[in-house]
Amino acid sequence: MGSLLPPPRRFTRVWALALGIPFLAGLALLTLTPSRIEESMPNLLDLVLSAAHRLGWAALDFTRLEVLANVLVFVPVGILGFLLLPRRVWLLSLLVGPLLSLSIEAAQRIALPHRAATVTDVIANSSGATAGVAFAVLCTLVFAVRRAPQRSPRLEAS
């Protein structure tokens, strides 16, 4: 499988770090601060729900929107895990999202008791991270530059 999944270019890893560090800082602010997003941005959530209802998604309520947001927010975590881990241990990138999610939920339970630390969040976050890894693997299989196999030099008899 190593030959199917060539390592990312240095340029790709640099961009993953450059975008990943601010993303993870934002994720920490979103999940590890005392206020919940629905308390700090209630108008934004109302706008999203009303727009979804105008588009015909009448079944979308706040709970479903929260689960969908948890899935989508963790897709980049899976992509980052896949890009930044060495290729020989790329399967470990499947554990990055669930472990990060468990860490966040444990911190919320211990240090932020007014925040809701739930198993549903861990499942949604893990699903998003797994989808991110799957997307990164698919993109690697489709777009990665493959090197031609090196032929061993042989002397040919004439």
* pLDDT > 60? residue 158: no
Does some domain include residue 149?
no
Does some domain include residue 154?
no
Q: What is the pLDDT of residues 22-68, one digit of tens each?
A: 999 999 988 998 876 666 666 777 888 899 999 998 898 888 988 99
- Residue 156 pLDDT: 58
Report how many domains make up the chain.
1
Does some domain include residue 108?
yes
Does some domain include residue 44?
yes
Q: With contact defined as beta carbons under 8 Å apart, do 78 and 136 qualify? A: yes
- Residue 44 pLDDT: 77
Does some domain include residue 59?
yes
If you average pLDDT over residues 97-108, what whole number do you get? 96
Compute CA distances 6 → 18, 80, 128, 145, whole Å. 21, 16, 23, 8
Does some domain include residue 93?
yes
- Domain range for 122: 10-143
Within 10 Å of residue 128's Cβ, how many Cβ atoms? Answer: 23
Does some domain include residue 96?
yes
State how far the Cα of 58 lies from the Cα of 129, in Å rounded to an integer: 27
Q: What is the pLDDT of residues 108-152, one digit of tens each?
A: 999 998 888 899 999 999 999 999 999 999 999 998 876 656 666
Does some domain include residue 98?
yes
